[in-house]
């Protein structure tokens, strides 16, 4: 097993990830504003109307992305006490998301890990969003204990060459950044190497008593 020392990205790096996720929709907004203004200056009313209609749709989309960014910041701030169990936390996350989320089937064992329940639920919520945003080909989480860690694999995420981490869009990039930061804060990490399925590695909680 390859060892690594997970390190949280820190506030500055996380802010860069959030800004990067918002840059694409913001750039689209600015471009449409410029195009609409250009058409109006030339007296091209119909093309201007078309750009304004698309601009309104983009404003709504940007509003959703902006809300997602604030939700991401809230998730990263989650802490709490105790040692969470990923399986019930995944169920709780899917219940929170309701009909907009797929039901991910849990396969394998589950053990308590170092993350508190609140932070772990936030992390599981991001896994669900990653499955949605990546167009996952399979709706399951495979859990395996390996040494002093619990490894959670999403087989349908990044399993195809067209969805490798290097080519993800802004929304998916944001969910990955949150999951990466939450895991690292408590000693875990995301394995996003190459075109292999996404894998989340979490340290097992120490037995007490």
Contact residues for 63 (Cβ-Cβ < 8 A; gap 6+) = none
Which fold does the domain 86-203 belong to in CATH? Heat Shock Protein 90 (3.30.565)
What is the rounded distance in angstroms from the CA atom of residue 9 to the CA atom of residue 121? 20
Whether 123 contacts 182, CB under 8 Å: yes
| List of E strands, the chain | 105-108, 140-146, 149-154, 189-191, 198-203
Q: Could you tell me the two tokens for 40?
A: 């109006």
Report field, pTM of the whole predicted structure over 0.85: no
Report the helix count and the strand count for the chain, using DSSP H and E: 5, 5
How many CB atoms lie under 10 A from the CB of residue 157?
25
Which residues have C-beta within 8 Å of that of residue 170, sequence separation ≥ 6?
20, 21, 22, 23, 24, 25, 65
Dist CA 35 CA 28 (whole Å): 11
Tell me, what's the pLDDT at 72? 66
Query: Which residues, in sequence order, are bridge partners of residue 141?
Result: 106
Q: Could you give the CA distance from residue 184 to residue 11 in angstroms, rounded to a whole number?
A: 13
| pLDDT by position in tens, the chain (length 209) | 444 545 555 556 666 666 666 676 777 778 888 888 888 888 888 988 888 888 887 787 677 667 667 676 677 666 667 799 999 999 999 998 888 777 899 999 999 999 999 889 989 988 998 888 887 767 899 999 999 999 999 887 765 434 444 445 667 888 888 888 889 889 999 887 656 688 999 999 986 55
């Amino acid at each position: 097993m390859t060892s690594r020392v997970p390190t949280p990205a820190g506030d500055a790096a996380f802010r860069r990830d959030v800004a990067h996720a918002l840059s694409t929709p913001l750039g689209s907004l600015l471009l449409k504003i410029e195009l609409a203004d250009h058409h109006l200056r030339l007296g091209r009313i119909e093309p201007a109307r078309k750009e304004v209609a698309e601009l309104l749709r983009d404003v709504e989309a940007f509003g959703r992305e902006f809300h997602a960014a604030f939700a991401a910041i809230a998730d990263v701030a989650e802490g709490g006490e105790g040692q969470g169990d990923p399986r019930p936390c995944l169920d709780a996350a899917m219940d929170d998301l309701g009909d907009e989320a797929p039901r991910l089937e849990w396969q394998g064992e589950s053990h308590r890990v170092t993350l508190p329940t609140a932070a772990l639920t936030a992390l599981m919520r991001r896994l669900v969003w990653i499955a949605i945003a990546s167009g996952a080909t399979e709706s399951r989480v495979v859990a395996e204990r390996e040494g002093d860690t619990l490894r959670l694999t999403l087989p349908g995420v990044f399993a195809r060459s067209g969805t490798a981490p290097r080519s993800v869009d802004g929304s998916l990039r944001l969910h990955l950044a949150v999951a990466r930061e939450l895991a690292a804060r408590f000693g875990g990490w995301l394995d996003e190497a190459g075109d292999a399925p996404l894998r989340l590695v979490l340290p097992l909680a120490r037995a007490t008593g």
